[in-house]
Structure 1
Amino acid sequence: MAGKTTSDGLSEVERQAVKDRAQELRAQAKAGKNREAGTKQVLEAIGKLEGTDKALAEGLHKVVSETAPDLVPKTFYGFPAYANGDGKVVVFIQPSSKFKTRYATINFDEPSHLDDGDMWPIGFAVLAWTPEVEKKVTQLVKTAVAPA
């Protein structure tokens, strides 16, 4: 865990993430499934990022916007995320700066259709946004939103 641990076992960073998520859920309840409000939240979240995290989040935003325009932008624990029509997150990026990790991750949640046998990857460590990474993420997003 990153940082000093509180009495409930969460680090201060994790505790703040929980508080931020509660505030985020209240804001999303007010906005409903409003694409403009979600896009604004995602762009604000990306705007707060720096360096590689920002480049990765911008790259993911571009890929999702072009490849899966039906996904609705929203934030998920403050992370840029994209949800299906039911409001369920399909893909999100966890910046390395959030928990002071070595790399950011692009993650796919349960509504994504990446199933491949009895075991398949749903999280990908990313160090840089390159043409190869963009190609791989584009394919993963296409697969994730394809009908089951």
Structure 2
Amino acid sequence: MSDYQGFTAEERAAMKEHAKEQKKAARRASREEKAAEAVRDVLAKIAEMREPDRALAERVHAIVTENAPVLAPKLWYGMPSYALDGKVVCFFQSADKFKARYATFGFNDAAKLDDGPMWATSFALTEVTPEVERRIADLVKRAVS
């Protein structure tokens, strides 16, 4: 017998956010307007986060946009994410979003991080030190190379 209870309240909320994001994006007029609005949405979502997630997300946003300007910021299931040709390459998930112990910086399969038969696709994030900044910068550059 399975213990499966269905989606958690947090998972259902994320799916609802994603549906709203899709509807909002469909209503935007020009490509430039869509891009500008998407950046505002991401920055607003980051501003809503509680500390320390907000500080982490702000640093991740700055590192990603500086080191992989080809990636377009957008919301994805209510999380700041960065897409190439409409496909999410990487994202930041606050610890608070799913009541986790730590924030996560992750990559989807559009990221070109393949390294043999197994490689990491997400990283626990508790602090953005200079070493962590360099590592994130390297990963996002590789992801879009």
Deviations 1:59-105 (A, max 9, x none): 11101111111111100111000000x20000101100001100011
What letter corresponds to residue 100 of structure 1 in structure 2?
K
Quote the Cα distance in structure 2 between the aligned partners of 1:29 and 1:92: 21
Question: What SS class does the counterpart of residue 46 from structure 2 fall into?
Answer: helix
- TM-score (normalised: structure 2): 0.90
In the alignment, which residue of structure 2 is the partner of 1:4?
A: none
Match of 1:89, SS state, is: strand
CA-CA distance at 1:13 after TM superposition: 2.0
Offset, 1:58 = 0.6
Give the structure 1 partner of residue 110 of structure 2: 111
Deviation at 1:29, TM superposition (A): 2.0
Alignment match, 1:59: 59
How far 1:8 sits from its partner (Å)? 6.5
Say what the alpha-carbon RMSD is for the aligned residues: 1.6
- Name the SS for the 2:69 alignment partner: coil
Paired amino acid for 2:25: Q
Q: Which string of whole-angstrom CA distances, capped at 9 and with x for unpartnered residues, describes residues 32-67 of structure 1?
A: 752211101100110101212111111111011111
SS at the partner of 1:125?
strand
Amino acid at match of 1:17: A
Distance 2:40 2:112 in 1: 27
Match of 2:75 in 1: 75
User: Aligned-pair distance for 1:14?
Assistant: 1.7
Which residue number in structure 2 is paired with residue 102 of structure 1? 101
Q: Distance between the aligned counterparts of 1:101 and 1:8, measured in 2?
A: 19
Q: Does 1:12 align with 2:12?
A: no
User: 1:35, 1:24 → 2: CA distance?
Assistant: 13
Q: What is the TM-score with the length of structure 1 in the denominator?
A: 0.88
